[in-house]
Amino acid sequence: MYARSDMEDPMKAEELQAVVEQRMSDPSVLGRIACNLRCADPAHQRHEDGRNFDVLWEDEGDYWRCTVIDRATSIKLAQIDLHENNTIRTDVFAPCRVTVSPEEGLLCVTRYQMA
């Protein structure tokens, strides 16, 4: 598995912010978080309910783990494991959609309102 520095062109801040803004007009969307894969740079995010999340990447040897944690409560929103064999395992703890785009080097988490 390659490290972040091995990727050709990580998405720039403006591109990440554009990803965040894409679905915010949908009334069912509470918020979005976007970041480059395997990168410690701050995630870009916007949330209608005022919440903020930390995105932590850890190299676990044969896979990378991303943990998305509510900054105020320390409660996990999602945990995503990216394995060397291209297997992706995702655990989510609230209504959300996780998009992983290896081609773009992008992780995006979209939070939804509870039905």
pLDDT in tens, 8-49: 578 999 999 999 999 899 999 999 999 999 998 999 999 999
pLDDT of 5 above 50: no
Q: Tell me the CA distances in angstroms from 44 to 16, 60, 84, 115, one per residue in order.
A: 6, 24, 26, 26
Cα torsion angle, 10, 14, 54, 79, sign: negative
Q: Which residues contact 80 (CB under 8 A, 6 or more apart)?
A: 65, 66, 68, 88, 89, 90, 91, 98, 100, 107
The gap from C-alpha 9 to its chain's centroid, in whole angstroms, comes to 18
Given this model, what pLDDT does residue 9 score?
A: 78
Given this model, what pLDDT does residue 2 score?
A: 40
Given this model, what pLDDT does residue 10 score?
A: 85
Kindly report the pTM of this predicted structure. Answer: 0.89
| CA–CA separation, 60 and 106 (whole Å) | 19
The gap from C-alpha 106 to its chain's centroid, in whole angstroms, comes to 8
Domain that holds residue 12: 4-112
Domain count for the chain: 1
Given this model, what pLDDT does residue 99 score?
A: 96
Given this model, what pLDDT does residue 3 score?
A: 43
Given this model, what pLDDT does residue 8 score?
A: 56
